Amino acid sequence: MTDILIEGGNALIGNALVGASIHITGDTITETSSRSGTAALRVDTGGLVALPGIVDMHGDAFERQMMPRPGVDFPIDVALVDSDRQAIANGITTIFHATTWSWEPGLRGSENAHRLIDAIDDLRPRLAADTRFHLRQETFNLDAEPTIAEWLAAGRVDLLAFNDHMHMTESLMANPKKRARMVERSGVSEAEFDKIVMRVSARKSEVQGSIERLAALGREHNVPLLSHDDESPKQRQEFRDLGVKIAEFPVNEETARAANANGDFTVFGAPNVVRGGSHTGWTSAAEMVGKGLCSILASDYYYPAQLLAAFLLAADNILPLPQAWELVSGAPAAATGLHDRGHIAGGKRADIILVDAFNPMRPRIVAAIAGGHMVHITEPRRIRLATSAVRRVEPA
């Protein structure tokens, strides 16, 4: 068991950035204080800021490692390992891979959903970030319900979201360019894709019952539930009545305001903040933050976005950094039931990132500690080993 002492810089303790030393034993923060001490591994953080590790409850950028170009596949284990390194290098120490299980074949089809959950289970001990499974169930994917029920009962699903992209699919069928893109992703012919859409949409009357059954199972097994792209306060209320307390990407302010007023978590995309708006033309995440209607920022499709967004919100005087950081660490930890992380405090899991914020518009991750392990560092000169911790090899 390695003990680590982080000292010399500022740390986010509570709601303030203060000069503090952070003492870590095993996988736990044992103390934050103004005093120094001894440790097997000491990290000089002079000029840096120590922040709680980022919790990413919705990220699907791993799909680009699985299929970097339409129809070009790479092994899932290779994709997940590469995504893990990207996440850690961007300060994400807890990551929920948002896996869409759709009625479509191909990248988001049944085979990949099974392969992903199995790969995450197998690889989890070897990955640097605490890696979890966020299942995005397309609600028209009715044939998946029995398997999802089994996964929920077995504790294999960490988050369950209800997605409905069928109405969007139907509206895009008349757009040749977007239709071709959907067909290419699915890996089937245009004629076959048309047949699938018709067959699936014909079962619309069965969808609500499936949602209700899966939501009940999620509640029974204490799996946090999310709804995706809520379009109205009425729709948000319908999901809330099923115990779905997290609203992902509400499409307008009215819906976000209704969610907030009823104590729901509201999730927006950090790339939306970084880019200055939604790529779909929907709600501005920065505006929602400013109005107090956004409680969580997720990486969505771009792992660097959470780090950049938090510092950008502070630089633009929308929120002070401690409050902005809560959107990417403490709040998503609370929403997902991970109360052992999200803050730097005694007894919490030792997930800490060290950031060079000299240029607040381009914060840089210098080091990441995940579960008490140093898993990433770009400036090794900052590390000092205690003499007793250095193994000496005597000549033969």
Residues 126-155 have pLDDT tens digits of: 999 999 999 999 999 999 999 999 999 999
The whole-number average pLDDT for the span 246-274 is: 97
Q: Verify that 113 and 196 share a domain, yes or no.
A: yes
- On whether residue 394 sits in a domain, the answer given is no
pLDDT in tens, 152-194: 999 999 999 999 877 776 666 667 777 777 777 777 787 888 7
Q: What is the CATH number of the domain that holds 227?
A: 3.20.20.140
The verdict on 199 and 185 lying in the same domain is yes
Examine the domain organization and report whether 165 and 187 are in the same domain. Answer: yes
Nearest to 230 by CA among 139, 125, 333, 345: 139
Same domain as 297, residue 242: yes
Residues 344-396: pLDDT tens digits? 999 999 999 999 999 999 999 999 999 999 999 999 999 988 755 444 434 33
The pLDDT assigned to 215 comes to 98
DSSP codes of every residue in 266-292: EEEEHHHHHHTS-TTS---HHHHHHTT
Q: Please give the residue range of the domain that contains residue 176.
A: 55-335
Does residue 267 sit in the same domain as residue 359? no
Are 359 and 300 members of one domain?
Answer: no
Residues 26 and 152 in one domain: no
- For residues 356 and 289, state if they share a domain: no
Specify whether 62 is located in the same domain as 182.
yes
Residues 161 and 241 both lie in one domain: yes
pLDDT band of residue 265 (cuts 50, 70, 90) is very high
Is 211 inside a domain boundary? yes
Sorting pLDDT into bands at 50, 70 and 90, what band is 98?
very high
pLDDT of 276 reads 87
Cα three-residue angle 333-336-342, rounded to 5 degrees: 5
Using CA atoms, how far apart are residues 146 and 4, in angstroms rounded to an integer? Answer: 46
Burial class of residue 198 (count of CB atoms within 10 Å of its CB; 0-12, 13-18, 19+): exposed
Q: Please, are residues 13 and 287 in contact by the beta-carbon 8 Å criterion? A: no
The helix/strand/coil state of 321 is helix
Which alpha helices (H) appear in 267-374, and where do they start and end?
A: 270-275, 285-290, 305-315, 321-326, 330-335
Using the predicted structure, report yes or no on whether residue 77 has a pLDDT greater than 90.
yes
Q: Is residue 113 part of a domain?
A: yes
Give the pLDDT score at 395: 39
Q: Report residue 277 CA to chain centroid gap.
A: 20
Whether 276 and 363 map to the same domain: the answer is: no
Helices (H) and strands (E) in the chain — how many of each? 15, 19
Average pLDDT of the residues of the chain: 91
Diameter of the chain by CA atoms? 78
pLDDT band at 2 (very low <50, low <70, confident <90, very high): confident
